[in-house]
Structure 1
């Protein structure tokens, strides 16, 4: 009396998602979304606990990847990211997810979509949500995905094999330009902000301008209702100016609160996605933040501690560690353009099988 759909469950970076073949889901988008919500939340759609489904009751564990061979000539795979908005019974497709991206090529190999090479396999992934592309390289000795290694990702216990994610042309992927308001600095409600999109739309704000240190724990910040109210007012005002329209029910733009580094990195961060303080920082959020750090005139650049060469990597500090981003840039007549944004992730296949959807859905 239920409908079964093949799936795999992967940890990608510091997130977790159900992975599906595009062909295994309904072609109609509205029906597809009903199936996805049923898989993660069951019949209790909108349930904060997601007790009747496979969701993990957090934004980091309520994610879905839909993968297929690419329809584009310059890509191998298409990757559509779906974020289940917990408690709302809705799905957002307005952003992509760099953490989950790291598991796309392993999924494609494990499911037979593409054939692995040895000792490694590289595939170009088309990020369907934003139209960007990423070259992903996975260790595949003897044509088998390797999940064992010594690479450590903060926010993830243990170590695993490295997965290299090389983002190509991520500037303005969602908003249309790197600085979508046309300014390096905007003033909103008397507070200086930088709106940026190098793969993830973000609004950067200095912690001192919010009358906080920036070192507070996520629990402490999440209990600060006045701070969250102030941040949401800023987000709602800047969303349209970032070419995102009314963002009331969207998970973007993110808010990234920046302060001076504590542990030798470039900058310290606290990220709100969009109303809850993240225990770490998203992959593309780290890329956008790192980009703001190296460009003069942004709120992040003024407080960042930069290495002699940002191509060697910028360490973006967050509540549970750090995230290193390597930026390959080109300087033309004093204007910096980002050619490549490179991050290191890990992934692991956790389970596979059939997820069951109630027949009436």
Structure 2
């Protein structure tokens, strides 16, 4: 389903596109640069705050464009200072954005390293058996403006908390496209959002601190490899053999490991960046020692880092996380194989931070 907003958002427009948007109304080209500065450097919430624009232009923008294509409906903060934003689009669609803080030794939590996890679709069509994002199915793709707005909302919230922060600084350290939806199924909008994030006229955020996660869409991975921006790729593997992966990831039937691994290798060869293999560890599903050994072989062949993620329980799904001893034993096998890996510490459990949970809860409340 293609969503058509009532007014175009300026987020995602390049300088040339913004000049072309303003030109029929008779506004000079230099106004585009001023507007972009207000959007991405000062991150204002309304056109009226763009104080160096003439009144006629502000009024014209109010009539013909929208500032933000979505709004913050709810903010939930966990005891570990993980934070989840629930955003509502013009059509009442709900998506989630998560801000994850990683405390650094000797540094307060508000100043710790921050990663923002953004959504690319409303729901998901790929039906991974362990994920809440696809429980209600796929509704539509997010526009590039709706993707970009997620960063702006988080930046404004962080700026309000720390008034001493310079306007032009970006208040997060890493970006991951690992929220609701399959990013590569919304390829054009995701890539355009990344261009805007990376551009000097945009957020000017370093591409090497941007990671795109995929469940394994092989043709799009090959296409992504040809993109010139040097962002990172993460593969949601979650099963080290076809037999195990197909139990929890239907996409594997279409693109089995024999096709997927070479595609990921091709991306790595062209971009020269270390890959990340995401592996959600589920009790009695993929936590066997055989899976650990197979995973080590794949990681070694790809020279990849493995991110082990103990399963974060989702209401309505039967899966559970392995106990801590099983997690440690699984990790030990990777360590003995000299595989770079981390066991992710659970974040945001008390606010149901796993993708899609807050959205589902809110939609159920609306229906009730």
Q: If the length of structure 2 is used for normalisation, what is the TM-score?
A: 0.27
**Structure 1 or 2: larger strand share?**
1
Higher-Rg member (1/2): 2
Q: Structure 1 or 2: larger helix share?
A: 2
Bigger RCO (CA 8 Å, 6+ sep) = 1
State the TM-score, normalizing by the size of structure 1.
0.27
